[in-house]
Amino acid sequence: MTSLMSIAGPILMGAVFGYLLQQGKVTSCNVIENQFRLRDFTVLKVMGTAIVVGGIGVLLLVDTGNTKYYVKDANMLAVALGAALFGIGMVVYGYCPGTALGAIASGSVHAAVGAFGMIVGAILYALSFDWVKAHILNVWALGKVRLPDITGVPDGVWFAALAIGAGAFFFWVEASEAKARRAQGQAALPGLPIINSRKVHPMLAGLFNKLTGSTSVPAIEHDELVTAHQQRSCVIVDVREPHEFKGGHIPGAINHPLSRFDPDSLVHDKPVVLICQAGGRSATALRRAMAAGRQNIRHYAGGMSRWRAQGGPVA
């Protein structure tokens, strides 16, 4: 029984974790991409909440004697280089390892391709580990230390500061996003406010575009899409495959699969909103349409997964 639980337990926890990632909308590469463009702080809010809740939970477990800390060596040079590589990889790929698996489970093909790259990277790291250990891991190595050990400040104070700091950050983000939404109320297209690329932090946007060759992809927020759908003031084009479309779509949407996508077919007398399962294919279709000179077209980041999670009607 113990052996069975040791196998079933992690599988169950992994499934729950993946479900929460999906519900948190962080399995969409567009959400992660827009985090680095400082347009959408969903990733920071989800990760910040996980860190605070998990940290307090671990603190309580340790204080009650139900577990103990497992402290890894503080190899600071390795941490700095690894963090830089991880950040660049996340910008280019659009996922971290955890969100990549969640995206693969949602049917993302490009997430699966990137996961193969992670496996190759892990193999290369293993093959070069002796050199890495000699030239990187042993540089600026502090041993098994923690901030409470170095500063003399108790664990509880550190976690309290973390919780207060996270709360203040969340408050600032929510206030900033509310202000941005009010400003977007003056958008040129009723019910279809766009994300203005001029508001993107120029250095981060430039770095992302240089690395990926991508251009700004105008997106529509959920509330605006709901309003536009109710008022029938837009044309919704679903770029998923026919079998996916038949499995559930926004009422009134037109199916135009990405595999047979023709930008010239997107000429309508109303603004067009592109949608797919998670946002990747609709962003690709939008880039093609923009390259072909089509205008008044946006896409819905998060796709049908987000639409269902938000309680949107499905036919």
Question: Measured on CA atoms in the order 225, 314, 279, 85, is the torsion positive or negative?
Answer: positive
Instruction: Indicate the residue among 124, 145, 166 that finishes a domain.
Output: 145
Query: What is the domain-level CATH number for residue 233?
Result: 3.40.250.10
pLDDT at 205: 40
User: Model confidence over 193-242: pLDDT tens digits?
Assistant: 333 333 344 344 444 444 444 445 788 888 889 988 988 899 999 999 99
Q: Are 275 and 253 in contact (CB under 8 A)?
A: yes
Q: 84 lies in a domain? A: yes
Higher pLDDT among residues 178 and 245, named by residue: 245
What is the per-residue pLDDT for 153? 92
| pLDDT-above-70 percentage for the chain | 87
* pLDDT tens per residue across span 254-285: 998 988 888 877 767 788 999 999 888 888 88
285 lies in some domain: yes
Of 295, 120, 293, 310, the C-alpha closest to 128 is 120
Last residue of a domain, one of 145, 160, 176: 145
- Is the predicted pLDDT of residue 124 greater than 90, yes or no? yes
pTM, full prediction: 0.55
Its domain, for residue 285, covers 197-309
Question: Does residue 48 sit within a domain?
Answer: no
Domain count, the chain: 2
Asked whether the beta carbons of 241 and 52 are under 8 A apart, the reply is: no
* Listed range (237-241, 244-248, 270-274, 292-296) with the worst mean pLDDT: 292-296
213 and 124 housed in the same domain: no
Nearest-Å Rg of the Cα atoms of the chain is 22
Residues 203 and 107 in one domain: no
Same domain, 208 and 280: yes
